[in-house]
Amino acid sequence: MKKIFSGAILFIGLSTMAFAQQTADKKAHGYSPEKRAEKMTAVLADKLSLTDEQKAKVYAINVENIKKRDIERKERIAKEREVMKEQDEQINSILNAEQKTAYEQ
């Protein structure tokens, strides 16, 4: 009985953690640049009492900068992957077969 109960608790905990991770990822990257710019503009419009003309200009600025940051983020991730790949190649070049197997795990 304890094993069943422990297993159920473990399953629920892991399911909750997986769902939370998916939700966090979606909050950060699940929206288009335009949707994120709308939200940012709405916050500023409320805080600063922007006119419709100002809202339109702020929205355009937000979209442009969000797109730039998205491109920079993708480039940074690609560069980091390349550096990690080079590191793995360098480390693998000095390992023997047994060590390579352990390193890859």
pLDDT in tens, the chain (105 residues): 556 666 566 667 767 766 665 554 455 568 999 999 999 999 999 999 999 999 999 999 999 999 999 999 999 999 999 999 999 999 999 999 999 899 888
Burial 12-31 (b: 16+ CB within 10 A, else e): eeeeeeeeeeeeeeeeeeee
Q: Are 64 and 78 in contact (CB under 8 A)?
A: no
- Beta strands, E only, the chain: none
In this prediction the pTM is 0.59
What are the boundaries of each domain within the chain? Answer: 1-30, 33-104
Pull the structure tokens for residue 55. Answer: 């809202």
DSSP letter at 50?
A: -
